[in-house]
Each structure stands twice: as structure tokens, then as C-alpha cells.
Amino acid sequence: MPELTPLLQDFLKTPVHSHFMDGDFVSSNSDETFPVINPATEEIIAQVSLGSMEDVDKAVVSAKKAFQHDSPWRKMLPDDRGKILYKLAEKIEENKESLAQLVTLENGKLLRDAKSSDVGGAAKTFRYYAGWCTKIEGETIDLSQPQKGGKQNFAFTRREPIGVVAAIVPWNFPLSVASWKLAPALAAGCTVVLKPSEETPLSVLLLAQLAMEAGMPSGVFNIVLGDGKTTGAALTAHPHISKVTFTGSTHTGKIIGKSAMDNVTGISLELGGKSPAIVYDDPIDFSAVAKGVAAGIFRNQGQVCVAGSRVYIHKKVFDKVLADICHEAEKIKIGNGFDETADMGPLVSASHRDKVCHYIDQGISDGASLVSGGRKIYDKGYYLQPTVFSATDNELAIIREEIFGPVLVAVPFDDLKHAIQKANDSKLGLAATVWTKDISKAIKTINRLEAGVVYVNSPVRSDPNLPLGGYKQSGIGRELGKTGIYNYTTLKSVNIVY
Ligand code: NAD
């Protein structure tokens, strides 16, 4: 393990990490705390306050105050807002090592992935949306109804910031998923209360510190720490929240959607996936395809919303491609995320690994063939082997439910129609990949797939410029890209009669 940066050593000395509001870290109203555990060693690395309803209320009041019309944030020119976001992107990059080490400590992922996906991804997202601050525009509109008394008119729309945003995020990419919400919301001129996952609450606290250094006015970006059922639920139900933006499981998304609806609060939901990969039988490089399919499921220990967790392989090449995928899985070196030679780290928690193992047991008892992996390894840490099943029955739980771990199920298909029918036979529809050199087959497949994101000949990788979101129970709305900014604006129609 490399030496932790001085900034991080200092940060980890804090006896109890607490909420961030009105530009400062403030102690909790409640004495309740919870531990943050390093999944690689099972050691407690920090204690964190469990936010009460009062803490949530204080954070929302802070965000509401910062959103008042005469506040520094509301009066700020878009160009100046953009400069702060740009500066924050630079600060994130300057502090890459500290942030990435903290993400690895709290989540277990490889340090190099923490650097590229979490820290690099967050910096790119803030920079992308920094540019959007000056490009939020309404339209002028010619009306069809004549004005009374021969008067004339001038009608237009304004895009205004929606208000105080509640952002609730999961643990799999603690910094980058938070930035997918913070950056566009702040670019639009909103203020935010963020609730990170109870598994990974630490790295966003460092981010808040950097936001202040970048010149973010007090109260614009707030954090409440805590669990879902107490802190998260209090936040989504708060009457002064104008928009709830949630990333997490479909199960929680449904609860949050119902709670937000009680106040008719706007919502966007980025939920679970059970994404198919379709491998056709063209004369393509099947070993390269197997590498891509394996990367698509085993990256980040399979804890990726867009992970390709079902692979449909043409029956003519099924055995060859499956053998190549297993070969890739068996090459993976499992170890501490700080070990530079490791390819895969531990899962995020003991309970999550137990859940994944339960699915593996169920796959076996339901009659799927376990062709590779399937076992816990090492005495300490929540490690699990990359696991590959082969099956023919699309009804198995391991094919229908999101496992969110390093578990792949391979199923043969006969032709394009059959592949698409199996791929679409799911209540989820987040992403899909298609592996072929035949352009017409690729386009036919793209057009018929019920998925919000489709990649051809590559595993899915998020990008700040490209919208991300799901069909069916994988979510409501899209984030990232141009559409991401509109999640945080509301439209005002104006007609001036003269
Ligand atoms: P989760 O739903 O258990 O928790 C997500 C967040 O919601 C956490 O911060 C949690 O504390 C909070 N929460 C839980 N119950 C709540 C409640 N009743 N009210 C308010 N907040 C509540 O999900 P997780 O296990 O942290 O993350 C894994 C899930 O996230 C997977 O399903 C994955 O597919 C999904 N995910 C989706 C995307 C996407 O872009 N679609 C991206 C990343 C992860």
C-alpha cells in the first residue's frame, strides 16, 4: 500500500466526520454514528454521523438561503459560475492522489480505476458543465392567438434554475456519480443537498472542501451523511426540495418516487440494470470480443450499473466464445485495490458479497452450469472470484435480477430475432452491447434493443458528453450531456403585450 497523502492522513484523524452545510463542517444533532469499513481489510477507517431529520432540515435551510434571489449565487453571472466549476475541476485534478486513495479505502476498487473513473470522471464532468453555464437559453415564440384590441406581443421562454436539489447517490462510483448530479445542478444555478451512500460517505467530504477553495459560496453545496431509511427518506420528503435526483437500485427508486410525489417534487431516477451483450457469429476476432465482454462485467468487481451481466452468444460460436471469456476471467488477479498488479478488488461490503454469493448458490440450485469461479477467497476482505455461468433458460433469477457483482451468465441464440427477443425479455433496460462487424446487423439490433445506451464492439463506458439513462424500470429521465442540464431547469413562458 502506498503512503497516504498528508492531506488524507490529516482527514482520517477526524474522530467523527460530520455534515457539511452553510460552507462548513457542522456536528450532528444526533449522537448516532456509523463506521466506514475498508472492504479490503475489514478495518474501520472512520466514524460518521448519522443525520437526523433536524440535520436534514438544517442542510435544506442552508441550501434554500443560498438560493434566495439576492444571494451571491443567484446574483452571480453565468460566466463566473462557470469559472468556479472549472476551478473545481482543476482542484480535483490537483488532488487526484488524495481523492483516489480515499475512494479506494472506502470502496475497495483499484486505485487506478479510482483515478481514472472516479476522480478523472468527476473532473471531466465539472469541466463539461462549466461550459454549459453560459449556454442555458430560452426561445422567442410567435403566438397563434391574436392579442385583444389590436395590440401586439412579444412571447418568450426563460430557463430558470429549478431550486434546491436533493441528490442521493450510491457507493459504486462515489465521486463521479455525485458529480453527474452536482455539476449540472450547479451549472444551472441550483443549490444542492447531497446524501452519499452510507458505505462511501468520505470522498465527497473532501470534494466539499475543494469546492469552497474553488470559490463556491456558502450554502450552495451541502452534504448530509446517513443511511437511506432515516436521512435519505427525510431529505426526499422535505417540502422545500424542488427536485430529487437519485441514482441507486430500482427498489429504492420506487420508494423515493412515491415519497417525492407526495410533495409533487420533480424526480429523475437512474436505476438498476441487467444489461445484455449480444455476440454474433461474424468472422470477427472472438478472443478480442471475449476480452471486451469480460471487461464489461468484471470492471469495478461487476458493481457497475451498465455492466453486461448477460451475454447472448450465437450458437455456432458459443463454446469458443464462452471458453475465451472463462480464460479472461481466470487470468484476473484479485487483490487489494492499492496493489498495482491486481485486476480486481474486493466487493464493497460483507452484506453485498453475501447477496452476490446467494445469487451464485441460487444459480446452481436452479440448474445453471457454473463454468468458472463462484468462490469467496482470502480470509480477510470481501473478495469473490469472477464467476461465469452457462444457461439456456431465460427465466432463471441470475438472468432476470440485477446481481451487481462479478457474475456473468452466457446463453446461446439461433438468429438476430431470437437474440433481440431474449435481450429485451427483462423488466430493466439500461444498456446493451452488440459485437459484430456487420453494419446492417448492428443497426437493426441497435434500433430494436430496449436500452437507454447501446455500444457496438466495446463495453459501455460513461462519458460526460453522452446522455445516460434507462428504458423500463431502469429509470426516468437522462443525465449527462445536454439533457443533463435540463434536469435542473424549469421553463417560464412570458408574453409581453404592448
Ligand atoms: P441503494 O438503492 O441501496 O442506495 C442508493 C442510495 O439511496 C444510498 O445513498 C442510500 O442510502 C439511499 N437510500 C436507500 N433507501 C432510501 C430511502 N428510502 N430514501 C432515500 N434514500 C434512500 O443502491 P446501492 O446499493 O447504493 O447502489 C447500487 C445500485 O445503484 C444498483 O442497482 C445500480 O444499478 C444502481 N446504479 C445505477 C446507475 C445508473 O446510472 N443507472 C449508476 C450507478 C448505480
Mean of pLDDT values over 192-214? 98
The single residue of 198, 199, 270, 479 carrying the catalytic annotation is 270
Is residue 456 within 8 A of residue 442, CB to CB? The reply is yes
**DSSP strand pairing (369-372 vs 387-390):** antiparallel
Q: Do domains 6-271+474-495 and 276-463 have the same CATH topology?
A: no
pLDDT at 233 over 90: yes
Is residue 449 within 8 A of residue 312, CB to CB? The reply is no
Pocket test for ligand 1, best of 34, 56, 169, 172 (most atoms within 8 A of CB): 172
Mean pLDDT of the chain: 97
Any idea which fold 6-271+474-495 has?
Aldehyde Dehydrogenase; Chain A, domain 1 (3.40.605)
The single residue of 305, 326, 328, 402 carrying the catalytic annotation is 305
- What's the length of the chain? 498
CA of 238 to the centre of ligand 1 (A): 19
* Ligand 1 atom closest to residue 305's alpha carbon, by position in its atom list: 34
pLDDT tens-digit profile of 37-93?
999 999 999 999 999 999 999 999 999 999 999 999 999 999 999 999 999 999 999
CATH architecture of 276-463: 3-Layer(aba) Sandwich (3.40)
> 12 falls in which pLDDT band (50, 70, 90)?
very high
pLDDT tens-digit profile of 130-166?
999 999 999 999 999 999 999 999 999 999 999 999 9
Grid coordinates belonging to 163 = 431550486
Grid coordinates belonging to 54 = 433536524
Q: Is 190 labeled as catalytic in the residue annotation? A: no
CA of 114 to the centre of ligand 1 (A): 19
Query: 269: Cβ below 6 Å to ligand 1?
Result: no
DSSP state of 334: B
Distances (CA, A) of 392 to 235, 374, 387: 44, 19, 17
CA of 135 to the centre of ligand 1 (A): 31
pLDDT at 284 over 90: no
Query: 468: Cβ below 6 Å to ligand 1?
Result: yes
Q: Specify the pLDDT at position 328.
A: 98
Q: Whose CA is nearest to atom 42 of ligand 1?
A: 305
* Ligand 1 atom closest to residue 249's alpha carbon, by position in its atom list: 32
Grid coordinates belonging to 70 = 439576492
CA of 473 to the centre of ligand 1 (A): 14
Grid coordinates belonging to 324 = 475465451
* Ligand 1 atom closest to residue 255's alpha carbon, by position in its atom list: 18
Q: Specify the pLDDT at position 115.
A: 98
Query: 236: Cβ below 6 Å to ligand 1?
Result: yes
Mean of pLDDT values over 238-255? 98
Pocket test for ligand 1, best of 168, 173, 230, 468 (most atoms within 8 A of CB): 168
pLDDT tens-digit profile of 372-397?
999 999 999 999 999 999 999 889 99
Query: 476: Cβ below 6 Å to ligand 1?
Result: no
Is residue 480 within 8 A of residue 466, CB to CB? The reply is yes
CA of 169 to the centre of ligand 1 (A): 6
Q: Of 248, 308, 241, 243, which Cα lies nearest the Cα of 274?
A: 308
pLDDT at 352 over 80: yes
pLDDT at 358 over 90: yes
Q: Is 270 labeled as catalytic in the residue annotation? A: yes
Q: Specify the pLDDT at position 30.
A: 87
> 1 falls in which pLDDT band (50, 70, 90)?
confident
Name the residue ranges covered by the structural domains of the chain: 6-271+474-495, 276-463
CA of 270 to the centre of ligand 1 (A): 9
Query: 123: Cβ below 6 Å to ligand 1?
Result: no
CB atoms within 10 A of CB 96: 18
In this prediction the pTM is: 0.97
Residue bearing cell 409533487: 264
Q: Specify the pLDDT at position 393.
A: 87
